[in-house]
Structure 1
Amino acid sequence: MVTTITDGVRVSVETIYQPEYSNPANEHFMFAYKINIENMGAYAVQLISRHWVIFDSNGVKREVEGEGVVGQQPVIEPGSSHEYVSGCNLKTDMGSMKGEYHMLRLLDNAQFDVTIPEFQLIAPYRMN
C-alpha cells in the first residue's frame, strides 16, 4: 500500500492484478485498485474531479480526467473517509498510475489539489 498526505487529506492505494479479466495473448492486462481518502483536517471537503496519468511499461502514457470518482462527488467530513474500487487496463503486465483529486473545502469554498501517490501495477508472476 502506498500513502500520501496533502493539506490534511490522506490517500492510500492498494492494487490487485485480475487474471480472470486479463488476456495476455491480446495485450490486455486488467488491474483493480482500492483507494481510501481520509479527511484528517478540521473542515468538510468534497471531491470534485480527478486527473490520472497512466503509464504502460512500453512507454505509452495516457491521461484521464473526469468528475468525481465512480460516479460520485463525495463529501468527506473531518475524521471520516471515503473508499472506492476502480480498475485500469494496460497493454503490458507492468505499469503505474498517479494523479490528483481536485477538492473543495466546504467552509470557505477554497479549492485545492490532493496528490494521489504513484503506485505500481504489476502482474504477480513478474515479481519472481
Structure 2
Amino acid sequence: MTDSSRYSIRVEVEPAYLDQESAPQEDRYVFSYTVTIQNLGEMAAKLVRRHWIITDANGERREVSGEGVVGEQPLLGPGDQFRYTSGAMLNTPVGSMEGSYELIADDGTTFTAAIPAFTLAMPRTLH
C-alpha cells in the first residue's frame, strides 16, 4: 500500500477531432489528445509505462501498452507537470479511452496513476 500524500499524480486529458486527417466515408476517424500529468505528491517519480484501453462505438476494444509516453520517460518532481499530445484512430465517429501510467518514485516504490475515461467524438455526433 502506498502513502497517497507521497505518491499522487493528477492526469487530465483534452481530446480533439482531426477533420483533415479523418475520412468518414472510409470509416476512419482520427483524434488527438493532449495529456497533462502533474505530480501532486511529495516525492519525484518517473513515468515508465503506459496502458490504454480504446473502445469504439461498436464495442471493439483495443489495448495499447508500452514504455513511457511519446518516446520519453519523464521524471516529475513534486509540483512538476509534463504535457504531451498523441493520437488515436477509430472506425466509428464516437469512442472512448482510459488507462493508467506506471511510475517509479525516487524511493523505488512503483505505483499506478489512473487515466480517467474520456470521450472521443466527431463534432455534432453527440447531443
Alpha-carbon distance in structure 1 between the residues aligned to 2:8 and 2:51: 19
> Which residue identity does 2:110 align to in structure 1?
Q
Higher strand share: 1
Count of aligned residue pairs for this structure pair: 121
1:44 aligns to what?
A: 44
1:4 aligns to what?
A: none
1:127 aligns with 2:126: yes
Alpha-carbon distance in structure 2 between the residues aligned to 1:41 and 1:59: 36
TM-score (norm. length: structure 1): 0.92
Q: RMSD of aligned C-alpha atoms?
A: 0.8
2:4 aligns to what?
A: none
How is 1:52-91 mapped onto 2 (pairs within 5 angstroms)? 52-91=52-91
Alpha-carbon distance in structure 2 between the residues aligned to 1:124 and 1:77: 37
Q: CA deviation at 1:127?
A: 2.9
Cα deviation code 1:58-115 (max 9, x no counterpart)? 1100000000000000000101100000000000000000000000001x11001110
Structure 1's unaligned 5+ residue stretches are 1-6
Alpha-carbon distance in structure 1 between the residues aligned to 2:72 and 2:122: 29
Alpha-carbon distance in structure 2 between the residues aligned to 1:67 and 1:75: 14
1:97 aligns to what?
A: 97
Structure 2's unaligned 5+ residue stretches are 1-6
1:111 aligns to what?
A: 110
TM-score (norm. length: structure 2): 0.93
SS of the residue 1:25 aligns to: helix
Q: Which runs of 4+ in 1 moved over 3 A?
A: none
